[in-house]
């Protein structure tokens, strides 16, 4: 393990993306065990340095073409088993996350943290939940769900936090924008795909959510004004 990070390959180097210099991905001069250890360290370094989940395609740029990313990740997960942080699969990639049992400790320390969900008001969180379950959905349809106007400020705050973005135009009169969740939404709430959202029937049974009935009649032009 010692010295593996400083090893230099004597084999044919791989050209770095962009054409500037060379980067040895294959490490053909290293024995198999040291080569695997170096690939593990490279993958962990890339994930550790990133503020967002790192995709398989990104990790493949720093290891050999025959290297199994999944097996590397499995070894890293095992290696971190006794650490206060772990490697998790979220939003189509991998990310370092502090283990949930240390959440109170981190809050008590008042230390600044990176990533995670933005601080939302209760109503903003409810609107975000509705978008998650019923996307793509317009602002007017959201207003119908809650029985009161969902303001542009509310939508703007969720967009500013990177949790939602614009979806396709609605086929209703005026062709208003719809809203959808983003990959950051998945990352912030520790989900790999939208299929990881809690079962809506279970939420209803627990009294935590009431399934809305969005009428099919045209919405007023005021409620469904076009937004950029």
* Alpha-helical segments (H) within the chain: 32-49, 56-59, 69-79, 103-109, 122-134, 139-146, 152-160, 183-188, 200-205
Residues 130 and 198 in one domain: yes
Boundary-marking domain end, from 62, 83, 107: 107
Residues 136 and 101 in one domain: no
Strands 22-23 and 137-138: unpaired
Domain count, the chain: 2
What's this model's pTM, rounded to 2 decimal places?
0.51
Mean pLDDT of the chain: 78
Phi-psi region of 17 (alpha: psi -120 to 50; beta: other; left: phi over 0): beta
pLDDT at residue 225 is higher than 80: no
Does some domain include residue 179? yes
Q: Are 176 and 224 in contact (CB under 8 A)?
A: yes
Q: Which domain holds residue 152?
A: 122-206
User: What does the pLDDT read at residue 12?
Assistant: 47
Boundary-marking domain end, from 52, 77, 107: 107
Q: Are 34 and 4 in contact (CB under 8 A)?
A: yes
Residues 128 and 185 in one domain: yes
Boundary-marking domain end, from 50, 79, 107: 107
Residues 57 and 101 in one domain: yes
Tens digits of residue pLDDT in 14-56: 555 544 468 899 999 999 999 999 999 999 999 888 878 889 9
Residues 152 and 97 in one domain: no
pLDDT band of residue 157 (cuts 50, 70, 90) is confident
Identify which of 117, 177, 118 has the alpha carbon closest to the alpha carbon of residue 152: 177
Residues 131 and 102 in one domain: no
CATH number, domain of 61, equals 1.10.10.10
pLDDT band of residue 1 (cuts 50, 70, 90) is very low
Residues 101 and 133 in one domain: no
Residues 200 and 126 in one domain: yes
């Amino acid at each position: 393990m010692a010295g593996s990070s400083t090893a230099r390959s004597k084999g044919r180097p791989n050209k770095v993306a962009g054409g500037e210099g060379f980067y040895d991905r294959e490490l053909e001069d290293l024995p198999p065990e040291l080569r695997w250890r170096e690939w593990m360290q490279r993958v962990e370094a890339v994930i550790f340095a990133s503020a967002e989940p790192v995709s398989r395609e990104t990790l493949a740029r720093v290891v050999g073409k025959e290297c199994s990313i999944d097996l590397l990740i499995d070894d890293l997960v095992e290696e971190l088993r006794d650490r206060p942080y772990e490697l998790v699969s979220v939003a189509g990639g991998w990310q370092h996350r502090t283990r949930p049992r240390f959440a109170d400790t981190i809050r008590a320390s008042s230390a600044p943290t990176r990533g995670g969900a933005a601080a939302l008001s209760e109503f903003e969180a409810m609107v975000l939940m509705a978008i998650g379950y019923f996307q793509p959905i317009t602002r007017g349809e959201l207003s119908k769900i809650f029985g009161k106007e969902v303001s542009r400020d509310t939508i703007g705050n969720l967009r500013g936090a990177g949790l939602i973005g614009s979806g396709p135009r609605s086929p209703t009169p005026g062709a208003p924008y719809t809203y959808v969740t983003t990959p950051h939404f998945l990352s912030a709430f520790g989900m790999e795909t939208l299929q990881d959202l809690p079962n809506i029937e279970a939420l209803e049974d627990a009294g935590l959510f009431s399934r809305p009935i969005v009428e099919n009649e045209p919405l007023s032009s005021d409620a469904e004004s076009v937004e950029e």
